Amino acid sequence: MCGIAGFTHHERAAHGDTIRRITASIAHRGPDQQGFFESPNISLGAVRLKVIDLNDGDQPLTSDDGDTVIVFNGEIYNYMALRRELENRGHKFRTRCDTETLLAGFREWDTECFSKFRGMFAVALWSESRRRLVLARDRLGIKPLYYSVRGNNLYFGSELKALFFHPELPRNIDLAALSSFLSLNYVPGPSTLVDGMRKLPPGHWLEWHQGVVTTQPWWQIRMQPRTWSEAEALEELAERLRAAVSESLVSDVPMGVWLSGGLDSSTILHFAAAQNSAPLKTFSVSFNGRRFDESRWFREVADCYGTDHHELDLNEKLDLAGAFEKIIWHCDEPSADAGAVPVWFLAQMTRRHATVALSGEGMDELMAGYVTYRADAYAAAMRRTPIALRRTLLWTARLLPVSNEKIGFEYKLKRFLSGSLLPPLEAHFHWNGSLEWQQKVALLGTERYYNMPNLGAHLGLKRLSRPALNDWLALDQKYYLPDNILTKCDRMSMAHSVEVRPPLLDHRLVEFTASLPPKMKLRGARTKVLLRDLMKAGLPPSILRKPKEGFDIPVHEWLRGALKPFLLEVLSKRNVQECGIFRPVAVEHLLREHLEGRQNLGYSLWGLMTVTQWMKTFKIHADAEEAPRTESEWARINTVA
C-alpha cells in the first residue's frame, strides 16, 4: 500500500523541492520507503507501505528500457497469474511485487490492462518518449485518486493534500459541492469541496498527452437481474465469497480482521478462518454499558473461531477533541460521517499488532443492508396518502420529546415523515442526509445552490418516476460507497499506516449481486436475504438475528456532553466569521436548538464543525483573491499529524 503524487511541467522549470514537499505530505500512507522520478516534463513521488515483497519493489519503478515509469497505490490479487502470462509473452521481471506486473501489463496491453487486474488500485504511468501520462482507479473506488488541470498541466495525488501543497494551485471552496456536502454529509464525485480539484471516478482512466486531457470509463456497474434458483445462487455466492477472501489473505506482514459482530465482518472471518490453520487476529471497538454496544456479538464470533482478539472501549475519557483535529488533517476532503472516530481508534489499535486488516465494507450497498432501502419502499406506499395527512403526521411527530440515543425512534420517524414529502430521488438522499433546504438557506443566505432538486441535477441524475430497489443500490454504489464509506476507511486506516482490504468488493462478487433479483436482497424487513440464508450453517444464530447498528458514535449525546466545549470552540462566532461561508446567527440558532434539547442536530453540527475546522486548517478560501499559505505556515500545520 502506498501514496502517489505528481505533476507535469515545463521542461525549463525546477521542481525538485515541490515534489519532495508534496510527497512528504502523504508520508503516513507509506512510511517504509519514499522515492522520486524527475524528467524535463514530469515529477513523480511515491511513499510505500511494504506488504508484498519486502526487499524489492521500491517506487517509482522504471521499465528496463527506462521509458515507462509507474507509481502505484493498492494491491493486485491476481498478479502472479498475470505475471506468468506476461513472461510467456517475453517480459522479464526483477522483483516479485505486483507493481512490476502492473507496469509490464500496461506496456503489453496499454489501457486494456486495467480490466485484467483484480484488486484495489490507483496508479499513474508515464511514457517518457510519448510525453504521455495515464492515471487509473479501481472499479469500485477503493483507492482514492485526485487531480487538477491548470493550463496545460496535470496535477494528481492520493489525497487532496498532495494538491494543496503545490504552490500553483489555488484553494477556493466550490459552493455547489458545499451544497451537496451540507445535504449528504459528503461530496459526491467527481467534485470535491475545492474548486478545480476533482476525483477520478471509480472504474475510469485519464490520459494527459502533451497538454490534452481525456477520461474514459473502463468498467461500470450494470444492474441486470437474471433468473436464479435459490440453490444455484447460494452455491455461486459461496464460491465468490471464498475466492474473494482467499485472494485478500496474501501478505508478507501480519494481518487480521476488523470484527463488528455484524453479518458482513463475521462472514469474512468465517471464510478466512477456513483457509488458515493458525488463529487469526481480530480487532473491535466497544461501547461498554451502552444500548448500541456490540461487544456481546463480536466476542461470541471471536470465541467461535478461536481468534487472537483485541478490542478497545470507545468512551468519553479518550482524547476525542484531539482525535477530531487529527481526523480533519488526515481526511483533507471533509466528511461529516462521525463514524470516522471509531475507525480512527480501531486503526490505531490495529497498527500495534498488524499491518493489514480485512474489513466488511460494501455488502450493505450490494445486498440492501441499510434501513434506508426499506424506507424507500415504505415511502412509496406512504405517498399514496394525502399530502395534508403526511404534513399533519410530521407536525405531530415534531412534538415528541427529543431522545439522546445515537439514532432514536423519534429521530428516524421525523426523518421518514419529512422524506415522504419529497420526490423519491430527493427522499433517498434525505434518509442519510443532514441539513434540510430551509436550514441551508438560513446558513448560507441564498437559495442559489442549495435545494435538493439541484443536487440531483448537479449529479447528472434523471428524476426516477417509479424507482426500484436496484436503482437505489446502483446509486449508492456509485456515490455513497466510494465517496463516503470507502473514503472514510482509507483515510483513517492510512493515517496509521494500516492497509485495509474489503474482500466483499471483489468485482466478481459485485457483478454477481447485480445479477440477483431484488427478492434475494430485500424481502419485507429482511435484508441481505441470500447472504443470511447462506450463513445459517456457518454463523451463530444470534449474529443472523442481530439488528444492524451503524458503526458510529453517539454524536447527539457527546456534543451535549464531553464534546460540548470543543463544539462551542470550533463553532464560535469568531471562527465562523473567519471561515466566511456560514452566517453566524444561523449557526448560533442550530447550536441552541441542539444544546437545549429541542432538536437532535448532532450530525448537522458535526458537518459544520468539520467544514469550519477544515477551512481553517488548510486555509480554504471563500474569497478567490486570498493568497496561498506561506512555507512556514505549511510547516507548522504539518506538525498536527
Assess whether the region 2-172+191-217 and the region 230-368+475-545 belong to the same CATH fold. Answer: no
Which range has highest mean pLDDT (248-252, 257-261, 457-461)? 257-261
373: amino acid identity, one letter: Y
Residue 460's pLDDT is 60
Residue 5, C-beta contacts closer than 8 angstroms, at least 6 positions apart: 19, 22, 23, 26, 44, 45, 46, 71, 156, 157, 158, 162
Q: What is the mean pLDDT of residues 7-21?
A: 83
Higher pLDDT among residues 409 and 601, named by residue: 601
DSSP 3-state of 605:
helix
Q: Using CA atoms, how far apart are residues 365 and 371, in angstroms rounded to an integer?
A: 11
2-172+191-217: in CATH 3.40.50.720: no
The pLDDT of 533-539, averaged and rounded, is 94
**Is residue 285's pLDDT more than 90?**
yes
pLDDT number for residue 463 = 58
Q: Are 57 and 95 in contact (CB under 8 A)?
A: yes
Is it the case that residue 638 has pLDDT exceeding 80?
no
Distance CA(69)–CA(59), nearest Å, equals 9
pLDDT at 20 over 50: yes
Q: Sketch the domain layout of the chain as residue ranges.
A: 2-172+191-217, 230-368+475-545, 555-638
Give Cβ neighbours of residue 576 (< 8 Å, ≥ 6 apart).
582, 584, 587, 612
Residue 203 has pLDDT above 50, yes or no: yes
Residue 71 has φ and ψ, to the nearest 5°, of -125, 135
Q: Is the pLDDT of residue 391 over 70?
A: yes
pLDDT at 447 over 70: no
pLDDT one-digit tens code per residue, 116-149: 999 999 999 999 999 999 999 999 999 999 999 9
C-alpha distances in Å from residue 382, one per residue of 375, 436, 442, 475, 519: 10, 20, 29, 22, 21
* pLDDT given at position 238: 97
On the question of pLDDT at 163 being above 80, the answer is: yes
Mean pLDDT of 185-193: 92
- Average pLDDT over all residues of the chain: 89
Q: Which fold has domain 230-368+475-545?
A: Rossmann fold (3.40.50)
Least trusted range by pLDDT, from 250-254, 459-463, 540-544: 459-463
The pTM (predicted TM-score) of the whole model is: 0.93
Q: Does position 179 have pLDDT exceeding 90, yes or no?
A: no
Question: 399-403, 467-471, 636-640: which has the minimum mean pLDDT?
Answer: 636-640
Tell me the pLDDT band of 566, cut-offs 50, 70 and 90: very high
Q: Which residues contact 331 (CB under 8 A, 6 or more apart)?
A: 340, 487, 488, 491, 610, 614
Q: What element of type H or E holds 75? A: strand 68-76
Is pLDDT of 237 > 80? yes
Please, are residues 75 and 124 in contact by the beta-carbon 8 Å criterion? no
The mean-pLDDT minimum among 357-366, 435-444, 532-541 falls in: 435-444
Say which residue, 252 or 512, is predicted with more confidence: 512
User: Which of these, 172, 196, 199, 204, lies nearest to 186 by C-alpha position?
Assistant: 199
Q: Specify the pLDDT at position 249.
A: 93
pLDDT band for position 313 (50/70/90)?
very high
Strand partners, 36: 45
